[in-house]
Amino acid sequence: MFSDIALNLHGESNGLYSLRDELKAPGYEIRDLVSGNINECGYVFPQNLIEEILARATRECRVYLPDSFGRLSAREAVSEFYAGYGVTIDPSDILITPGSSMAYWYCFRLLANAGDEILCPRPSYPLFDYIALMADVKLTSYRMSEENGWAIDLEYLEANITTRTRAIVLISPHNPTGYIASAEEIAALSDIARRHNLPIISDEVFSEFLIEPGELPRPATGGAPLVFTLNGFSKMLAMPGMKFGWMTVSGDEDKVRQAMRALELISDIFLPVNEIAQAAAPEFFQLGNAVRFEFAMRIRKAWLSTEQHLSKTKACRYEKPHGGFYVVLNLTSGSGACCDEEETARRVLRDNHLLVHPGYFYDMDPHHLILCFVQEPEIINTAFPKLLKTIQNQNR
């Protein structure tokens, strides 16, 4: 009765989440230290501004006049956003989307036939597996080198390009390592893409959250033949429920035009983006500058507080993230001892009621834990010492 895809989609919980549910049943409060929804950590766009902006946008949308690419005013606002960083993107080369997940699906369907390959970083975000399944494409991986601070292994990447490779995914800042690809790496990646005539799908959803202030190197300004840049309000303005994102397309003019013609039809089939959210976008960009700055400062402070705890322990190691709000803990201690990541995650959950992820959730080599350090100060100062003490006890 069901397709192969449907049979591979199921809601069964893994062991860690089954334990979480068991603990929640009698009323224990579980502190989620991996959720990407920063609303739950106190990061919210000012409610009074949301109400004012949406009220004005609602009045603009009395008559439904959809545009396959998205409202021109929204695309112009996205264009102005990039102009502020010295990147020129014409509004005609922008597609409004309901978020980066849908944008990935658009890209996969645009670029690949059934069974073709998309080259993604390893470690990687688990959602990609399901998007690839829905797009009927195969994910292959290139290595990010932990021993080199999670830098991209460019030789490994190029060696894994096959005749069926259709695109290279770059996530910078990377989730979950927090690594930011350097300008030199992006130039080298663009050169590889040019030699093999491959597009780059550049995921920049954490672009506003750099641990050290500075400019984010972007493939859109490089020499790749075609670049799809994905971003949105979910992380940038802490508005995941607004479901407003975008895709910019840059590169060789003929390839850009062909991509936009196809994307127009793909988007027109669904017209998935709320009209009121689109009408509100220019004001959210305009009035959100101070909000983005405040969020970035709070995230930097959260990392400094987190690092104060991490730097005091010998139970695990870590590479300082350059952006985003996740950190990877290597459970190999200074003495060389290490503990099982899944059992450690279960012990942290069972003993401390703290949810963290084992590294294999992200296709990472053994002996890692992943956590989100964007927490309220009292959570950092109470939960993180318990977490590190449990790791230390597991390592004995």
pLDDT tens digits, residue range 71-96?
999 999 999 999 999 999 999 999 99
Tell me, yes or no, if the two domains 13-44+290-394 and 47-287 fold the same way: no
Q: Calculate mean pLDDT across residues 204-218.
A: 95
Q: Where do the domains of the chain lie?
A: 13-44+290-394, 47-287
Q: In which band, very low, low, confident or very high, does the pLDDT at 394 lie, cut at 50, 70 and 90?
A: confident
Helices 289-310 & 377-394, crossing angle to 10 degrees? Answer: 30
Q: What pLDDT score was predicted for residue 335?
A: 60
Higher pLDDT, 314 or 8: 314
Q: Calculate mean pLDDT across residues 37-46.
A: 91
Q: What pLDDT score was predicted for residue 59?
A: 96
Q: For the chain, what percent of residues have pLDDT higher than 70?
A: 98
In this structure, whether the domain defined by 47-287 belongs to CATH 3.40.190.170 is answered with: no
How high does pLDDT run on average in the chain? 95
Are 215 and 85 in contact, with CB atoms under 8 Å apart? yes
Q: If phi over 0 gives left and psi between -120 and 50 gives alpha, with beta otherwise, what is residue 285?
A: alpha
Degrees, nearest 5: CA angle 103-324-329: 120
45 pLDDT higher than 70: yes
Degrees, nearest 5: CA angle 365-370-376: 170
CATH superfamily of 13-44+290-394: Aspartate Aminotransferase, domain 1 (3.90.1150.10)
Beta bridge partners of 260: none
Q: For the chain, what percent of residues have pLDDT higher than 90?
A: 89
The SS3 call for residue 95 is strand
pLDDT tens digits, residue range 245-282?
999 999 999 999 999 999 999 999 999 999 999 999 99
Residue 7 CB contacts under 8 Å (≥ 6 apart), including other chains: none
329 pLDDT higher than 70: yes
Q: In which band, very low, low, confident or very high, does the pLDDT at 336 lie, cut at 50, 70 and 90?
A: low
Q: In which band, very low, low, confident or very high, does the pLDDT at 12 lie, cut at 50, 70 and 90?
A: low
pLDDT tens digits, residue range 162-189?
999 999 999 999 999 999 999 999 999 9
Among 43-47, 130-134, 331-335, 355-359, the least confident range: 331-335
107 pLDDT higher than 70: yes
SS3 breakdown of the chain: % helix, strand, coil, rounded to 5?
45, 15, 35
Q: Can you give the pTM of this predicted structure?
A: 0.96
Residue 202 CB contacts under 8 Å (≥ 6 apart), including other chains: 170, 172, 218, 219, 220, 227, 228, 229, 230
